[in-house]
């Protein structure tokens, strides 16, 4: 029996939106920019806060394989894997800049374009690649 067959309503992460195959929004949530990737996670946990990530990781500790989706840009599509619990950070795009401390807190789903706009500094000071694609997830450029 595959992990997909074992994952059901009772396995949903409590208090965190979780999509199962066949439910509305599942196919849109599993797609990435590289249309060649056609993988089907057993569940997609749509995290909105760091506490959601903690809950998802705790749920997966029972032996469920995990994949992680950040900003949604990965040519190999490794964020989406058949039979995994995909912990989706793409809805977590908050960026908080503290100009006095010269620090920024960037959530896992933020994209480079948003980060650049929030920091309002040139790329040398921000430590970001000069010619990076603006749609890249932040974790791919830092």
Q: For domain 3-88, say whether CATH 3.40.1260.10 is its number.
A: no
pLDDT at 3 over 60: no
pLDDT at 99 over 60: yes
SS3 of the chain: helix, strand, coil, percent, to 5: 25, 15, 55
pLDDT (tens digit, 9 = 90+) per residue, 105-138? Answer: 778 887 765 556 555 544 445 554 444 444 445 4
Pairing relation of β-strands 103-106 and 95-98? antiparallel
Residue for token pair 């760091």: 50
- Domain locations in the chain? 3-88, 95-137
CB–CB of 80/86 below 8 Å? Answer: yes
In degrees, rounded to 5, the angle at the alpha carbon of residue 38 between the alpha carbons of residues 34 and 43 is 115
Which has the closest alpha carbon to 39: 6, 95, 78?
78
> What is the average pLDDT across 67-83?
82
In this prediction, residue 6 carries a pLDDT of 60
Residue for token pair 């993988």: 39
The pTM of the full predicted model, rounded to 2 decimals, is 0.74
Tell me how far CA of residue 44 lies from CA of 2, 83, 132, in angstroms: 16, 10, 28
């Amino acid at each position: 029996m595959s992990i997909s067959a074992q994952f059901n309503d009772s396995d949903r992460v409590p208090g965190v939106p979780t999509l199962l195959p066949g439910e509305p929004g599942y196919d849109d949530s599993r797609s990435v920019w590289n249309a060649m990737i056609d993988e089907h996670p057993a569940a997609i946990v749509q995290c909105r806060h760091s506490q959601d990530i903690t809950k998802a990781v705790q749920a997966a500790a029972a032996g469920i394989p995990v994949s992680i989706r950040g900003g949604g840009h990965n040519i190999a599509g490794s964020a989406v894997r058949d039979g995994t619990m995909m912990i989706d950070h793409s809805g977590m795009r908050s960026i908080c800049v503290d100009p006095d401390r010269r620090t920024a807190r960037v959530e896992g789903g933020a994209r480079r374009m948003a980060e650049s706009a929030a920091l309002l500094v040139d790329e040398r000071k921000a430590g970001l690649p000069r010619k990076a694609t603006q749609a890249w997830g932040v974790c791919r450029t830092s």
